[in-house]
Structure 1
Amino acid sequence: MAHNLIDDTGGASWADPAQQGELWEMARARSSDSFNGANPFGWAQVLTESGMGPYTVVSVAKYDDALQTAARAMASTGRPVGLVMWSGRHAWVMSGFESIGDPGVFPDFKVTGIHVLDPLYPYGSGQWGASPEPNSLVTPEQLATQFVVREPRRWSSGLPTGYLLVLPVASA
């Protein structure tokens, strides 16, 4: 999803199952995950290597700070942010946001809405809840029911406990 939001080459979307499988395998090959899946580091590396980056993985201790960090990165790069959901078990893409104040101008701006994409839509999770419709605008309170602190025991990232973001960074 992030690839499709970023890629402005005019090519076809990466919605074909074979293309999605290729990106998944690339991310798995770049991940160290005891569950044999892709982790945020693999996701960030694939986005970077495929020309969509650079991306990095960060952990932010406080929820409101995580939302501000994500919004600032989107505002400064024009690229989506990965949200590591369900204590590190799933991922959504933040495709936009609404705020009171411009992140580039006001250091104390407030995020009031987050546009999200969940690859499990329309199914969601019995434990975590329903998936929002693609590009839904959710409130910070709604997002907080599924965007929670990563469990460090889930996989060892070397990052402190916090809200994990696959964050676009400015090109060097």
Structure 2
Amino acid sequence: MAASIQIMHNLIDESGARTWADRVHQGELWEMARARSSNSFNGANPLGWAKVLNEAGMGPYAVVSVADYGEALRTAASAIADTGRPVGLVMWRGRHVWVMSGFKSLGDPGQFPEFSVTGIRVQDPLYPYGDDKWGPSPAPNTLLTPKQLATQFVVREPRRWSSNLPTGYMLVLPRAKA
């Protein structure tokens, strides 16, 4: 999660003057996210992730759960189109996180509410390692099809951590600034 926070910062920071890549800083971000998470396993969860993004000046971000896969992709793509900021994807039923940095679609999200997402640009902080169960990590900035993404972006298991969010595809979603 901390590496994903660093990736998101580096995508959002337009000046390019403050690249976040330091391992010590990554550990600090992990501790920040963990301290802001309510997790019976003493780890960090998406609520802590969003809180760190907000406190670090990258927000506002909110955690949402979307029941339908296609709607989750449209929600994420619309948020990127509206804000210009990346979306956090909660992967592997809540065990890992990626960053969605862009998309391709049939139709403009701002003009056509039922547009189709045809490609999802992702950043996986585990690259090149991946996972024995879930498969290989895509290379940075890979454009996946919805079918390819669906092998690892699956419904979050409710038992992974307590929240009042319904079961669904979990996103750490940028919101328009007030």
Q: Return the TM-score normalized by structure 1.
A: 0.98
CA RMSD of the aligned region, Å? 0.8
Could you tell me which runs of 5 or more consecutive residues in structure 1 were left unpaired when the two chains were aligned.
none
Q: Which structure shows the bigger proportion of residues in helix conformation?
A: 2
CA distance in 1, matches of 2:12, 2:85: 6
Q: Which of 96, 102, 109 is equivalent to 1:90?
A: 96
How many equivalent pairs are there? 172
Letter of the 1:135 counterpart: N
1:2 aligns with 2:23: no
- What is aligned with 2:55? 49
CA distance in 2, matches of 1:36, 1:62: 29
Q: Which of 114, 118, 124 is equivalent to 1:118?
A: 124
Q: Which of 42, 46, 49 is equivalent to 1:36?
A: 42
Alignment of 1:59-98 (within 5 A): 59-98=65-104
CA distance in 2, matches of 1:5, 1:152: 30
What secondary structure sits across from 1:153 in the alignment? helix
Could you tell me which runs of 5 or more consecutive residues in structure 2 were left unpaired when the two chains were aligned.
1-6
Q: Return the TM-score normalized by structure 2.
A: 0.94
**1:56 offset after TM fit, Å?**
0.1
- The alignment-based identity, stated in percent, is 74
CA distance in 2, matches of 1:12, 1:55: 21
Query: Runs of at least 4 residues of structure 1 off by over 4 A?
Result: none
CA distance in 1, matches of 2:47, 2:69: 21
1:145 aligns with 2:145: no
Q: Which of 93, 97, 109 is equivalent to 2:115?
A: 109
CA distance in 1, matches of 2:18, 2:85: 18
- The superposition leaves residues 80-100 of structure 1 with CA deviations (integer Å, 9 ceiling, x where unpaired) of 000000000000000100000
Q: After alignment, is 14-23 or 108-117 more displaced?
A: 14-23
CA distance in 1, matches of 2:16, 2:126: 26
